[in-house]
Structure 1
Amino acid sequence: MANDVATDATDDAVTGEPPRRRQRFDSIRNMVLSLAVICAGAFGLVLFNPGDQPEGSTPTVSYEVEATTAARAAPYELLVPEGLPEGWRATSVRYEPLGEFGATWHLGFLDPDDEYVAVRQADGDAGEFVADATRDAEDTGSATAAGGRDWARYEGSKYDALVLAEPDATTVVMGTASFDRLEQFAGALVAAAE
């Protein structure tokens, strides 16, 4: 033990640093080196792992379970598309029971031309919800019939939309797709199974 103390004292005399300061520096240096190794490993995994999706594609999600669960909880008739032709694929799904605009349902798709189309529903303030969902698109004053419902047409710089205002909820079908695609999607909407 006396030899160890003497060795430490000799090392400290050579470096000129107090023992605690050197230990603190070694700990920080080891932490930084460990972090660098972890980051390099993570970067390597991302760089060399091609994944199972083609370059530039958006992953497809399953939404049936989420829709069934949300339909049980939603205070309105939750809508999902049924019978869309091949080439449509779901890319995002979420239900917020206490969202900014009340109970909010969102289901996003890419159409066969890789254009975005989504249905959003909420039971909160209709004006604010439509402005948010459509990114401030303007009501054109015209209507479109789709799926046995009359939808108001909105045009905007980011999204065009079809809006269905009902007493219990507001439904918005919006996206970058053409109005024909929006109408096709709106026409396929049916009540989700509970």
Structure 2
Amino acid sequence: MRRFTQGFYGYAVALFVCLGAAGLFLLIAPQSREEHIPRLDYSITVANFGHGVPYQVWAPSKDLPNWVPNSNRIAKGENGAQVLHLGFATAKREHLMFVQSDEKPAAGFANRMANSDKAVGSQQVGGAAWERRFREDKKQRTLVRFLPDVTLVITGTADWDELGQFAAILQQRPRG
């Protein structure tokens, strides 16, 4: 018995026993190869936001195929304005965040959400012009739309096409 507890053979046996136990654990432990992104319903957050602001709220009219809504919250912006944040994992598994507020000045709000104050062009979506912004170091693309009563911002690592797809499904929700 003593030869298994000392020297090289003892070390080899202990190592074999440990590797065997680890292998057995890996063999019987459940494993999932599927991606799991938690899906969070944003409808109640949008409704609550609509009750607290003096304008018609914008929200997606439907969920896009293979997109996962994964975050939502209402926050306080500058000057006490409320800000709605809706986050999504896109079909290409990039990140997209939709943000809206009546915060003033509107340009300051858009700059903060886009992490940029420089327009790099525009994009037409459903007859509406959206201002494009791009921040190279973060690979962050942003679409901004300034309306009389609210500023809409769609931002994230998603490409311009996915940002446009999301902008196309936005619609005003009836007050109520």
Normalising by structure 2, report the TM-score: 0.71
Question: For the pair shown, which has the larger CA radius of gyration, 1 or 2?
Answer: 1
Pairing partner for 1:181 from 162, 167, 173 = 162
Distance in 2 separating the partners of 1:134 and 1:91: 20
Q: How many residues align?
A: 141
Is the 1:89–1:110 Cα contact (8 Å) retained in structure 2? yes
How does 1:143-154 map onto structure 2 within 5 Å? 143-154=122-133
Distance in 2 separating the partners of 1:136 and 1:91: 24
Distance in 2 separating the partners of 1:74 and 1:149: 23
How does 1:14-163 map onto structure 2 within 5 Å? 57-96=36-75, 98-100=76-78, 102-124=81-103, 125-136=105-116, 138-140=118-120, 142-157=121-136, 158=138, 159-163=140-144
Distance in 2 separating the partners of 1:55 and 1:130: 36
Aligned partner of residue 56 in structure 2, secondary structure? coil
Distance in 2 separating the partners of 1:54 and 1:131: 39
Q: Where does structure 2 lack aligned partners over 5 or more consecutive residues? A: 1-28
Superposed CA deviations along residues 105-155 of structure 1, whole A, max 9, x for unmatched, are 111111111101121111122222112211226211x22111332111111
Q: Which runs of 4+ in 1 moved over 4 A?
A: 53-56
Is the 1:154–1:160 Cα contact (8 Å) retained in structure 2? yes
| Aligned-residue CA RMSD (Å) | 2.2
Matching residue's letter, 1:127 = A
Distance in 2 separating the partners of 1:91 and 1:74: 23
Note closer, same or farther for the CA distance 1:151–1:57 as it changes in structure 2 (3 Å cut). Answer: same
Superposed CA deviations along residues 145-176 of structure 1, whole A, max 9, x for unmatched, are 11332111111122111100112111101110
